[in-house]
Amino acid sequence: MIDDVTKFEWWKNLLLYSEKPSDVLNRMRDDGKISQLSELDALIGCEQNARWHPEGDVWNHTVNCLDEFAKNRIGDESDDLLLGFAVLCHDFGKPLSSFVEKGEIRAHGHDIKSVEPVTSFLTSLGADEDFIENVVALTKNHMRVFALYQGKSGNNAIRRLMREVDRIDLLVRLNNADECGRGMVPEDAGQAGNWLISRVEKVMEKDALPEPLVGGDDLIKLGYKPGKDMGRLLKKMYNIQLNKGVESKDELLSKINL
């Protein structure tokens, strides 16, 4: 029925089981069914910079991305469904942010602009609040994978992203589908995502370590002066703390010949 397109269950079946979602969605576009959902309808004819998107408008890019997603489902219904909706919705902000500058189409901030249309779209389908929140987190942050990679960002920037997005692995899969859903696939496709996953793992390992029991202020109180010698001593004491299972400052200080 024509009204099925406005139901969450219809989209669930498409995203979880269709081998090539673009075929289904393009037929629906041609039959006028997509016009029932304004957020999707706005993608049709929303032009993009041909240098980065030779596939054409945002609609073409989106359905291409969905085909990439479908080829790489992992078989976990919960994860695949969340990611599938994020892929479907990731460029909902482009119709709201696209403009022409010096003869080129740009869409700065389209990731942030996606929040309202993604929320309204999923609400109209009957999605629950937690699901909407998770999809919004992915779509709102989908540009940050490449931005962090390009800027070789530090640990604090990685931590900020981890606070906003619970599932960095899904964010990376979204980025990969976005990269490959173009008329041309970049030679370095996937590198940004691999870099981010590696950095996240290192940050998690670092953050799992206990705080040093003894700091520079403690040594200064004992008569030490800041400098390389103090730095080497602090490193030595931290290694003892970790390797010997020391749990108190006094115990640690007693093991060092100060």
Q: What is the mean pLDDT of residues 4-9?
A: 90
H or E segment to which residue 16 belongs: helix 8-17
Higher-pLDDT residue of 187 and 30 is: 30
Mean pLDDT in the chain?
92
For the chain, percent of residues with pLDDT exceeding 70? 98
- Residue-range domain boundaries for the chain: 2-207, 216-254
Task: Identify the band that residue 134 occupies on the pLDDT scale cut at 50, 70 and 90.
Answer: very high
- Pairwise pLDDT comparison (189 vs 135), residue with the higher score: 135
Joined together, the tokens standing for residue 150 give: 């390009």
Q: In the predicted model, what is the mean pLDDT of residues 128-144?
A: 97
Give φ, ψ of 152 to 5 degrees. Answer: 45, 55
Please, is 223 exposed, middle or buried when counting C-beta atoms within 10 Å of its C-beta (0-12, 13-18, 19+)?
A: exposed
- 138 near 117, Cβ under 8 Å? no
**How high is the pLDDT of residue 232?**
86
Across 159-194, b (16+ Cβ under 10 Å) vs e yields eebeeebebbbbbbbbbbbbbbbbeeeeeeeeebbe
Q: Which residue has the tokens 């993009």?
A: 48
Q: What percent of the chain is modeled with pLDDT above 90?
A: 68
pLDDT of residue 244: 80
| Token pair in block for residue 245 | 């299972």
> Has residue 86 got a pLDDT over 90?
yes
Structure confidence at residue 1 as a pLDDT band (50, 70, 90):
very low
DSSP string computed for 131-169: HHHHHHHHHHTTTHHHHHHHTT--HHHHHHHHHH-S-HH
**pLDDT tens sequence across 205-253:** 888 888 899 999 999 988 888 998 888 899 888 888 888 888 889 888 8
**In this predicted structure, which of 89-93, 150-154, 238-242 has the lowest mean pLDDT?**
238-242
